Amino acid sequence: MTVSAGRRGWFRRAAAAVALAVALPLGITVVGGGATASAAFDPAARDFWVDSEMGPIKSRIWHAHDGNTNRVVYLLDGLRAQDDLNGWEIETNVGGFLAAHNINVVMPVGGQSSFYSDWVAPSNTNGQKVTYKWETFLTKNLPNALRNELGFSSTRNGVIGISMGGSAALTLAAYYPKQFNYAGSLSGYLNVSAPGMRSAIRLAMLDAGRYNVDAMWGPPWSGAWIRNDPMEFAPRLRDNNTRVWVSAGSGVPAPGGWSRHTPTDVFNTGTGAGLEVLSVSTSRAFQVKMSLLGGNNVTYNFEPRGIHTWRYWEKQIHDLAGDLSNTIG
């Protein structure tokens, strides 16, 4: 099989997966691991409020156990991000796990359906009053406040996201290489301009808060869509020599529940499997693109089993912790 034939095959599978996700009524709601369980508040973390163009935004902070302030990672949530806690805290124990590995952990809270991007306008489908400015917040407001108030380094940080946050993590690293020298996409969608992807994202955002995708990056043919597509900015990640971790499951469920708090059920297992097939298809396409570019700065961890669940993403943090630790700071 030639490389071009392989890419065509992955794109066909991606389009099929989009159709599957859209066809399943709750499939869209599972994007980002819809955190519907009771919040798992961790008393070891602290609230950290920062003013922004969107108003005050809360983050949750875990301090590195050895007291260092130069090793920092941001963990980004999925499409259905809540306003009380980040899904990583609700559904996993990775905040304390990474802090024990002497890494300071920053979990921004909120940003439902935002793709952690600077939008062009407020959504006109749900009464949103302010324009999302998450990219500005994560690259200016938050790191400046962390540096000034906590002494955290604002250079050579890591950024890791799941689902919606996966492509956002790569975007932030591509355009802010001094701030982020490590980026991780866990079950991310790494070709947002692929056939069917814009329609799938539109439906997903309408389901997750009734957000209008046109308010995010404008019309589908606009430059903002291209700017935020990992397939398009891949040369930046190569040229920046960003350390990148890309993972996705096969769509085949592994034994066990969704997470520490959410049990497995047959319906969500089916939708989670379809979404993960979409992720692995676009992530494999990204792998081909980076290979064609000669990019040797990416670790690919494609699990033989795994669907769109927090339990899978929690395992990935355990797998990449050493790589992250050896890169940031």
Residue among 163, 185, 259, 281 flagged as catalytic: 163
Which segment, 11-20, 30-39, 194-203, 290-299, is predicted with the most confidence on average? 290-299
**Residue 293 is part of a domain; what is its CATH number?**
3.40.50.1820
Q: Determine what percent of the chain is predicted with pLDDT higher than 90.
A: 66
**Is pLDDT larger for residue 3 or for residue 152?**
152
Which segment, 177-181, 206-210, 260-264, is predicted with the most confidence on average? 177-181
Q: What's the confidence (pLDDT) of residue 227?
A: 96
Total tally of structural domains belonging to the chain: 1
**Is the per-residue pLDDT at 244 higher than 60?**
yes
Q: pLDDT grade, residue 70 (50/70/90)?
A: very high
Classified as helix, coil or strand, 178 is: coil
- Which domain covers residue 208, as residue numbers? 3-325
| Of 38, 76, 41, 44, the residue nearest 61 (C-alpha) | 44
**Is the per-residue pLDDT at 288 higher than 60?**
yes
Q: Is 261 a catalytic residue?
A: no
Yes or no: say if 207 and 21 are a contact pair by the CB < 8 Å rule: no
Q: How distant is the alpha carbon of residue 31 from its chain centre?
A: 11
Residue among 89, 167, 187, 308 flagged as catalytic: 308
Q: pLDDT grade, residue 256 (50/70/90)?
A: low
Give the span between the Cα atoms of 210 and 113, in whole angstroms.
9
Residue among 89, 91, 135, 276 flagged as catalytic: 276
| Of 78, 73, 68, 80, the residue nearest 97 (C-alpha) | 73
Q: pLDDT grade, residue 310 (50/70/90)?
A: confident
Q: pLDDT grade, residue 40 (50/70/90)?
A: confident
**Is the per-residue pLDDT at 103 higher than 70?**
yes
Tell me the pairing of strands 180-186 and 104-108: unpaired
Q: Is 276 a catalytic residue?
A: yes
Dihedral angle sign, alpha carbons of residues 302, 81, 146, 151 = negative
